Every structure is written in C-alpha cells, then in structure tokens.
Structure 1
C-alpha cells in the first residue's frame, strides 16, 4: 500500500514565514571530496543566511553505499535525518515505506514543473508528488585526459574502445598509467557501463532497463565483458580500493593519461586550479559521443516533527532550485544545473558540451539513466549486476561467457 505524508503541505512557504521560523536541518550526504565539499558548502551557507542551522552528516564513500547503510539504520530506529542524498528508483523505495514528505507547495511556488526537464522532475516525484529536490544533472559517460601525457607518449585521444586499447599500449610503453581507476564496485560499474553504452542505446536500454535475458546473454554482452577485462592491463597495481578522486588526481598530476568517470571529476580539476581545454580535456567515453547517461543528485525530504524543523526543511528545498545555488553549486561540482535556461557564461567548455549533449540526446532517444549510479534499476538489481562485474574484473579465471551467464542469472534472481 502506498503511503506518504501530505500533512506538511500546510506549512507556510513564503520567504518571510520560512525565515521567521528558523529551524535545524540535518543533511545526510556523501559529498566529501575537494570539489564536492566546496559545492555543498554553498548550500550550507545559503541555509545559514536564511537563518537556519545546518547539521552536517557526511558519510564518505563515492558511490553512497556507506551512506545508505547509515540512513537505513537511522530510519529503522525512527530517527531519520531531515534530508538525505538519494536518487532514482531509491526515492520510490523510500516513498513506498512512507518516510518521505510532500514538497508540492514549494514546487508550485517555484514553478518546478516548468523550470525542470521532464526526465528530472519525474525522478523527483513519488506517486505524482514532489518528495525530493534536484541539485544537478551529471553526465556519466565522460573521459578525462591529460594532453601532456598523450603528447609525451605520442598517443592520440581514442574515440573507440579498440583505439583505446591501441593508444593505451603506447602510453604504457612510455612509462605512464593509461587508465586511472579505483578498484571499487561502483567505479568498476562506471567503466563497464561506458563500454556497454558504446554498443548503442537500443542495446543499453534492453540490457539495463528492460533487463532482457536475451540481451544479457548476447554476443554483444560477451564482447562488452571481453573489452572490460582488457582494461585490467592498463590500470596500475595500486588500483584496488582507491577512491575515485585519488584516481582523478593521477590524471591531474600527470601520472595517468585518462579516467572514465562522471563529470564530478571536473570538480577536482577545478579545485586544483586546472583549466578545461588547457590542463585537461574532456571527451565522451569512446564510442558514446551522441549519448548521455545521466545521474541526478537530489536531496529527498524525510518526515520530521516540529513546525520550525518543517519550515527549515521546506526552505532547504526552495533554495536548492534557486538560480544562484544551481549556478554556484554546479560550477564547483562539475555538473550542469538541473534547472533549464540558466545563463552559461560562467561555465567552461566541458559544461557547455554537456548542456548541448543533454538537450540533443533528449530528442534522439540517447538520453539514458545510468544503471551504475542508481538511476535505471532498483538497488537489488544494481547490486546484483555490480557483484558480477567487479568479481569478473578481479578474477583471472572467469571467462566472458561465464560472466554473461552469471549476469543473466543474478539479474533474474534480483528482479523477482
């Protein structure tokens, strides 16, 4: 039975009323790297300026697994935070459990249905009602490269995965790490997803949205696993357990040539004072130039007691969609605003490319939810896929054919 708290929709939402009722908001998130911390600090300051108290509850871990474990334990104990960084189908899961609160009045006041693309607004709703506020849109299928390393190695930027392998061998022979990577399940999934995406949007949709058994067992999927395993040759021996931002720093420092990572990586380049197109370059992951796998970061609002706390929570939601926050946050984070028709003048060439690709792909059927980042499937299916993917990447004995069989079986079991 679907249930959700709508009693809070009577909370006064005018700016005067909201700021008159100063309250505390506890926010659970995993924005802890340099670029991410700079981004979330913008929202902290906005809330403080509005007269509220921000209680930071940061749980490190780039994929958010640790944060979700903490959130579940807090919710079970009857003490969830006012707001938590959750997204995609996970929002629906929390809605089904009856934990989320209604943001329709804030959304109506801010005209969210008009200022948000439909792919974003629909992800923020449960049972037709807003329960979360989007802070950004990330493009996941990016490749970040250090042009100086390529120059020294006499290599060219690859535009296909076959070319990636050819150029990576040149880079490795020149004494550099071709692929900066962190051996964590979600990072393995990010790389795997990018390789699968190059097989085409139809294949991607069939495998990761429709969960077609035929597609999961297909020769194309065997090819994806084969290419994925080939990447092991191009990572350094210390990759296991490495955080994503440490891998990004390898590209920044000229130790590594490339990283396949969402555009939150750009926040690290920005924090290091690097300039797009000069110190680093951004390209779509090989073979995916017309596609856009999206990851929408959002803060969902949980039911809280007390008028002051409720007013502060609703004010938090309002501030997230304000143009000032959308611009400043995304300049720091590396992503693009969730809000449409934002001025572009302060954004760099990588952000412009992302904005253009987002709009173009939305008309061609190539705008796709990232399975690796919790936008396409529920957490059970995502976890099942990731287990197969990361076990295969770290095993010397599992063949691509065996991995495909394990994948199909795991998805079927998780999707029952």
Structure 2
C-alpha cells in the first residue's frame, strides 16, 4: 500500500519519511498507517520512502523543510539532532494518556534527552538470543540453559569442535556489524550491565580490561567457526542453521522469522532459544521509533499520529507484521507467534533493557562508524590489544 502520491506539499496533515519498504517492514508500516487512517480519517497522511533516510532528513533540516515525522533509531543515534535543537518535544503525547506508565525504563531512556521526550518507540527487537538446534544439542550432550557465561560458552564450543563432527556455532563475519553484535553481547554477559553502561557512557578507558576480555572471547569463538566465516553473510548463515549445519546460532530475534516460515523447522521441536549465556533477565534492545521535527505545519495532526504510534492498537498492528514485540507492556499479543509471545514475557520480566551498541541506540553515529572500523580491523588481524585501544578511543570520543 503506497501513499507517496498523497503526500502533501505544505499545509495541513502529516508527512512521514521512512525506509520500510517491502518484506516485514513494509507490511508492518502498511498495517500501522491503515489503522491510523481508520482512527483518524480527518487527518491527511502521506509517506515517502528513502533508503538514505538519515542523509535525507539532515538535508531537509538544513533546507528548513524537514519532514513532520520520520522513523529512525532513537537513543544516542538522535544525539546530533538534539544538539542542534531540531527535534520536537513530544512529552505531552507521553503524559496526556497512559503511554508513560506502560513503557519500561529502557525504551523510555532511549526516548529522552534532558528530561524531555523526543521519540515514540514503535517496536523492540531482542539482541541477546542464542538459538539452538534441539536434536544436535542433544546429540553433542549440551544443555544450552546450563551454560552460565560467554567464556563457559567458548569452552563448550571448543569441546564440541574437539569431540564431535558438528559445528558448534556458525559465525558470519562478512559484515562487521554481526561481529560487533557478538562482542557487545559477550561484554554484557561476561561483565554485567553496570560495566556495559559505563563503557557506553564515555568511560570506556576505565573498563579497558573488560573490553579486552570480551574481544578475547570473541576470538575464541572465531577459532572454532567454519573456514568460510569471513565470507559468510547473515542470511546465508541463518539458512545453514535451519539446514542443521550448527548446534548454535547467535542473532537478534529477527532471525526467527525465517524459522517460523519453514515447515521443516518447528519451534521447541527442532529449534529453541535461551538468553545468551550470562544475560539472563536482561533484554538487550534494538528498536525503531517515530521522531518529530521541532517545527511542523500541523502540530495537532502530528500529535495524533505520535499518540497512535504509541497506542496498543498501533503497536499490535505494527509488531505482529514486523516480527518484533511492542515496547508497551499492555498490548494483547495472543495472536503473535509463540516465540514472540515468549519474548514479550521475557521483556516484561527483565530487570534491565540495555540499549544496543551495534544498532546505534547506545552510541552516537560517529562512534558507531569508528566501532565498525575497529571490528573490521579485528577480523583481519585478531590483534586483541590493538583493537581494544581503537574501541576505547571510539567510545571515549566526544
């Protein structure tokens, strides 16, 4: 369902800029916008897609013609916009209804700058999942739930490599973000939430030892990965996991969308999951959010759209199609897949919701670029100490 032709060129209504085209993202947006139009038929709504979303938003802000709203990562990804005072204050939307009391602290933290809300989270993807093949885990004699730390997991992968003919864990490294995601998850699981937050809050140098240790563990994972790891893409690895090539696979919950679509890969019977070792009761998050410009032509219409995006109906529509969970805790998920229902329960009972480094919520954009560069160096040199220096420099950069 495309609305590009209905986009207004000034005047009343809402213009939405996004990059959710095709697949589950496009279906999720269509469901959200259809629900909004039914709820608010009086509001003119137009959406425009752009693959280079951030660049387009910045360009239009500089031209003093920003979109009314756009869908983007919240958290520190928005710091440059906040520094430039170009984000709308949407605190009234949060406080005028029941939104604020139905969001957990993690999504609220990702939406606030200096006490003011600047974003409305739409969805949550969990980063710290460890998927496993049920039959293979039984065959190699491992209970995934009993592995209590990332280092213990490294020991288990080495045992599987030494004593069996199976691959312990597929580890795609073609793109540096997949390796960075493993590193941040290992850091969280081995050294805890406080250290993780300390590093992301610009005190990385004080935690260099933890950074080194997490890199060393990731290096150990790589040593028992497949020979083609450096050339393996995420989608290829996920397909190979479905085909039974490895016991374990670490990835965000979006990977499970492919599992659910396979008639030969049944949840609980053929595949299952546990939190990545050491991250029990933590829900490491990636998310999308609706952002508003500081100056819009129709503030009332924009507020209606933001409120709907943060409503139970809007979030049910969006997340059921997206394969994610609602950041609100009061959304009826009874029609979601069993896997997503369990993810929602884990989210609601989590003691903390760390903001993802890899997906730009826990770090500023310039820091993320430097971190990906450091990881690219890591997979080519495996020099733990040198790359630790690069990571410290990236985090501590202002």
| TM-score normalized by the length of structure 2 | 0.80
Separation (CA, whole Å) in 2 of partners of 1:272 and 1:135: 27
The equivalent residue for 2:4 is none
Q: Which runs of 5+ in 1 are unaligned?
A: 1-20, 60-65
Answering whether residue 363 of structure 2 is matched by residue 377 of structure 1, we say yes
Aligned-pair CA distance for 1:194: 1.0
After superposition, the C-alpha distances for 1:321-368 in whole angstroms (9 at most, x for unaligned) are: 221222232233333221123334334554344344434443xxx442
Structure 1 residue 228 displacement after superposition: 1.0
Q: Deviations over 1:232-265 (max 9, x none)?
A: 34146265473x4454333334344433222233
8 A contact 1:266–1:333 mirrored in 2: no
Q: Note if contact 2:110-2:355 (Cα within 8 Å) is conserved in structure 1.
A: no
**Match status 1:263 vs 2:253:** yes
Once the two structures are superposed, what CA deviation does each residue of 1:15-74 show, in whole Å capped at 9, x if it has no partner? xxxxxx973523223x45733333233213224444444424152xxxxxx543443334
Q: In 1, distance between residues paired with 2:226 and 2:174?
A: 10
CA RMSD between the two structures: 3.3
**Superposition deviation, residue 281 in structure 1:** 1.1
What is the aligned partner in structure 2 of residue 143 from structure 1? 130
Of the candidates 292, 297, 315, which is equivalent to residue 326 of structure 1?
Answer: 315
Structure 1 residue corresponding to 2:214, chosen from 201, 206, 224? 224
Matched position secondary structure for 2:15 = strand
Aligned to 1:9: none
- CA pair 121-221 structure 1, distance change in 2 beyond 3 A: closer
User: How far does the alpha carbon of each residue in 1:137-178 deviate from its partner, in whole angstroms, 9 at most, with x for none?
Assistant: 332211123334545666653724345445545479646583
1:296 aligns with 287
Partner of 2:49: 57
Q: Secondary structure at the match of 2:33?
A: helix
Partner of 1:186: 177
Q: Secondary structure at the match of 2:367?
A: helix
Change (3 A) 1:139 1:68: same
Secondary structure of 2:304 counterpart: helix
What residue number does 2:395 align with? 411
In structure 2, what is the equivalent of residue 86 of structure 1? 73
Between the two proteins, the alignment pairs up a number of residues equal to 377
Deviations 1:193-236 (A, max 9, x none): 111112222332333335241312x1x43221111122334146
Match of 1:285 in 2: 276
The residue that corresponds to 1:133 in the other structure is 120
**Counterpart residue number, 2:13:** 23
